[in-house]
Amino acid sequence: MGCTRDAILDALENLTAEELKKFKLKLLSVPLREGYGRIPRGTLLSMDAVDLTDKLVSYYLEEYGAELTALVLRNMGMQETAERLQEITSKGPEASSAGIKDTPQKAGMPALHFVDQHRAALIARVTDVDGVLDALHSKVLTEEQYQAVRAETTNPLKMRRLFSFSPAWNLACKDLLLKALRDSQPYLVADLER
């Protein structure tokens, strides 16, 4: 977690208040990769640069979050800022030791893990979130994270909260989530794998 997130934050903090407002409005209409949902308008418009960076990374992961940020900056006519962001993020993975996490994302969409590819569908369609949470408790989720997800009022909010922790997960954690989903929601997983 570090270099890419910091680069996104740096790019957003260098925007004026008007530019940040324009960035958020353009982010609402930029085309997204399949499987990714939009940050809700009401949530997005009230965010400062730090909160927006966290939300971009939790919704889209670091690599795709940086790509989206650069795309929106280009759409705003801020090519130099977009280029600087891409320069920093393209150097980041080689310099970091988190190669396991960065390598699949560099390879493009097909290399994304199942839970990343189908994030939006899982948020919308998982009905037995408590069963999934129980399977992940103390293996992937801390007690605090477990309770935070359980505290949400609806299944989509619970899944969204669960996914907010996923940027810190490695492939083994995502595999455990997929196993829990296969055990509790086999028909949903089969449908998404088609």
Question: Distance between CA 50 and CA 60 in Å, rounded?
Answer: 15
Cβ partners under 8 Å of residue 32, min gap 6:
38, 68
Q: Tens digits of per-residue pLDDT, 32-60? A: 887 788 888 888 889 999 999 888 888 88
Task: With cut-offs at 50, 70 and 90, classify the pLDDT of residue 159.
Answer: very high
Q: What is the DSSP letter of 37?
A: P
**Range of lowest pLDDT (31-45, 102-116, 154-168):** 102-116
